[in-house]
Structure 1
Amino acid sequence: MDPKETDAAIVSLLTQHQPALRLYIQSLMPGDSRAEDVAQETNAKIWEKRGDFEIGTHFKAWAFSIARFQVRKYRFSQAKDARLVFCDEIEDVIADEMMSEIDDLSDHQIALRSCLQMLKPADRDLIHHRYFKCTPLKEYSIQIGRSIGGLKITLHRLRNRLQICIEKRIALNKEIQA
């Protein structure tokens, strides 16, 4: 693979894993306002080390190990502060646990997107207005000419359908991977 193709592949993988990478860093730096800065530094370090990555291997694990190192580097620089600093063993436990949690979260997000696409457009609209736009039910009921009670019942049914759909998709994916 020529360097341009390799760079394009790295950019694609980094873009694909960016949300999980940011969540991972935030989980290692709970409540620290510099987590976003460390994420940017991690992206720069990944780009700097892109020649070390072998296309076809596990990019996410490689990127997360760089992120963990960047978090440790940041913590070391902040050790003079009176902040809580985790020892390496505790940090390793948290990092390993969060890696699996983020994998589960990504699986749930993928399943949710797929399940949402299976809904009727009117039902998708209701979900979108309620949970993504945070439109109050009273306001939305006036917009579409339905009662609040009817919308609550519909939302309850849709949540149940989505939960069942997500659970089935995740179980199916686990069977396929096994």
Structure 2
Amino acid sequence: MTRSNLHITLSNGDKLQCVADGSSAPEQGYIVEHLLLPLLSFHDAKKEMALITEHCTLGGQRTNADYRYIIDLKNEHIGFYEEHYNYGKDTLKKGIDLTGRYISYLKKLETETELFTKRKFRNITNKELVKRINGLPDFKWDDEGVELNRRRLLSNGAFIYKMQGNTIIILKDE
């Protein structure tokens, strides 16, 4: 069993700390599929808190945690690090950045549809993809929508968009 200390910024900006007590290495899948990906899809602090309380122990950190997640739901960014406890100073310290392991696991989750759309739109920029979607009739952009969401998740906060009415607006594209 792997424990992780979680430092979370909810989509409304509220901050909290909690502990994920089991299966919290990204390669084990549970934390990514049952906590992180759903949290990134909500954009609603009440739903986020409900899921967090279901999967985590609130109000503290564990000295025996193996990992630290820094989850920023406002900016859709996940950071994953080693966690170190200094017994002499009674402090927890963020260690080596392991976020690549989280991104690698996300790539392994790609469905056949996502692999198809990745190939189909590989030469199109995010801006061009959004322009294409905005030019299509409502609900006629299934492949484009799959690719847009795939890019958002794998960018880990570097590409963020929102729906405003029937139009997609890019908020961030690095």
Q: TM-score range by the shorter chain?
A: under 0.3
Give the structure with the larger helix fraction. Answer: 1
The two structures have a TM-score, normalised by structure 2, of 0.23
Give the structure with the larger strand fraction. Answer: 2
Larger Rg: 1
The two structures have a TM-score, normalised by structure 1, of 0.23
